[in-house]
Structure 1
Amino acid sequence: MSNSTAANSAAILDFDPEGAQRQVNLLVRDGVAWIGDHWIQIGIAIGFAALIVLALDWVKRWGKRYCERQPVVTGWAGIFGRAIARTNRFFMTMIAAKLVVGVADAPTGVVTAINFLFTVAAVFQAAVWVREVILGLVEARTQTDHRGSEALGTALGLIRLLVTFAVFAIALIVVLDNLGVNVTGLVAGLGVGGIAIGLAAQGIFADLFAALSIIFDKPFRKGDSITYDQTQGNIEAIGLKSTRIRSFQGEERIISNKNLLDKEIQNNTQRVHRRAKFAIGVTYQTAPETCARIPDILKEIVEAHDRLFVRAGFVNFGASSLDFEVEFDSPGPDYVAFYDARTAIGIAILRRFNAEGIEIAYPTQTTFTAAPDGRLVMPYAEVQPVRDVDHV
């Protein structure tokens, strides 16, 4: 057993009920005497305190009405209004008592009691406000895109539980510290317990925090089309442990949230455009003047199909062709529209080249016959007939 634990145990064992009773009796006696001697000041103090409580209660009711007018938390005003609406009347009463206790010339015991109660009320009220602000920020972050999501509801419930436990545990430690209790052992115990739980459930927590990251950071949403590794598909559901994806081949693929976020994800739904590139080879017999016109021809074809022309030009002397390329963008993420436009533009290029007499090249080899000195033999030697040697 540690020294701090032993000291706390000794303090509990040394608790004197009779001494506590004497202190209570002394406080009651001093309070009665104080009321009898200062009833006018006490009445004035109570009046001021009542006004303070009424003013604070009006602020609380204003926050409550504001939240009722805007049930969806979307900004800082709604978050703070929600926090104000959760103000406790005991806290308001203790504020008033703290402010007017000097007016009534209260005895030391009464002042000490009011200070203690005010500290307790203020600490726990601060915990309530902090909890409401944190939860308000979380809900405001998720209202737009995930409203009604089962995963979101579960995540918010878990976040609410964790935040409530954390802030009220801190509040309790602060109150105990103000009472003179040695909280070092308690804090150390909570820390060790938290580490043990974290190590035992690190896999679950990894997927959980990955799910929260997906929900709040929004790399993708339900219904989005994404690509990762060799998989393409649409997001069907985002759970606390895994995400379900319907691939374009039809099967459902399930991957843990942590593994999914560790990959490079392409969100196709967020595309502003899709880009296509055609590589076109024409024969070496194409005249230079005709080659110079090809980029303009390609631009005309792309613009005739209401697509955004990017560039077109000569790129390479190929093994069997003069190589050109054209790039264009299809606006929006719609893959079907992009696919149809790419097909239509490709066919239009074929038609225009046929009309212009431009030949599309294909892999060919031409054989030339040369004399021993390297000069081409022109014309080629005539093909000799096959002779039947058996009848010669």
Structure 2
Amino acid sequence: MEEVTLPNEIWLKIFKMTDRPKLMELRLVCHRFYDLIEDLLNKKWKKLAKEAISYECLEMTMQRAYPYYLASNWIDIHDPVLWRGTYFSYKKWQKVLVNPYTKDAIVPTSNFGGISCIRTFDKFIAIAFVNGSIASYTIDSIYQPFYVAHHGSNLIQIEFWYSNGDVLLVSVGDDYALKFWDLQNKIEIATNGFFANIISSGECRHFCIGDMGGILTSYERVGNHISPGPTLNLNLRDDEKLIAHAVEGKYMTAMALAKGRTVKFLYEGKIEGGKLIELEFEQKQDWHRLPKNLGASLHRLTMPTVLYFFGISKNCIGSTNYYESQWHEYNLGQHFGCNVKSIALHAQILMFGLEDGSIHLLHISYYGHVMDLEKRIKHSKKIQVDTDPILDLTVLEVDKKPCIVAATEHKVHLVNFF
């Protein structure tokens, strides 16, 4: 009996009417099906990713999945490989809510003292200590740092910065000194002496931004030196102080605090040929009053994206986003039995580090889920990682494997999935 073979055009019409889970199975039938379905899906990956991932979390999800890809705006990206990887990265992160996990820990030597904060980039983990040291590890070797830098004063903030093919660290101490470290060459990069209250957070690419009194200055690496670039004056009032600012591609937001209220700023970088040529002010949103309990003891502001903001106080937490005109306050201690010490957000997984050494994970589809935290938190997944408070939280994604990184005063825990 003669075999009947349908032409590719017919198969493509059939595949277009087939739902995606079934298509993923049909790809494995034969090489011909695989090629046809992959070609079809390549035209759909961006659409699938945009439909699955909320706008607020989309760019950060892509940047973690592809840390060395320099993108200034996800809207302009059309490479199906990037969109496919972003989509599957998001899907893998959703599974941390149900999948089993293993735990490792980095235990620095006691001479470093207490941990002040942690940051991650690709396979790198940087740990800042109150004595001014920064120990850098890789996920492949967590028992010995490959480089230790010495800032010289108590560290307030460190951030990774990827520039011109180099992975750099930027540090700010309580002396306001701003220092830059080349991890690959294990050296401090020369400057003429720069100072900042805080530096930009988020997945920093191309440039790094420091604040001093509401004047934002971008920095670029030129050879073996760091040079200042374009600046932007936010024209803060006398009673306002910038407490955080975040970067995603070319978009940036900053928040200032003054007398129980916050002020939000939106600004944009103009990038040409991978170089920042201008910082342009876009919009200011004034007078967002903090709720009474949150404002009374607010000691930390977390900006995991340029649109979502979380405040942590002694007995409660709060949230707002760029489009909100108010702060929302949540007393999650009633459910947890202890206070929240740290917060992180990635791929729509909201993470809480608690005083009792546990982490709680909760999926959010949009900001309305955040505003409904006190009702939804009972559905969170609990992971007990320590008995000491979780003081800082972030994530890693190496070889497409999700990992949550949690710091106590003396340890850094890696919660590995897959």
Larger helix percent:
1
Greater relative contact order: 1 or 2 (C-alpha under 8 angstroms, separation 6 or more)? 2
Larger Rg: 1
TM-score, normalised by the number of residues in structure 2: 0.17
Larger strand percent:
2
TM-score, normalised by the number of residues in structure 1: 0.18
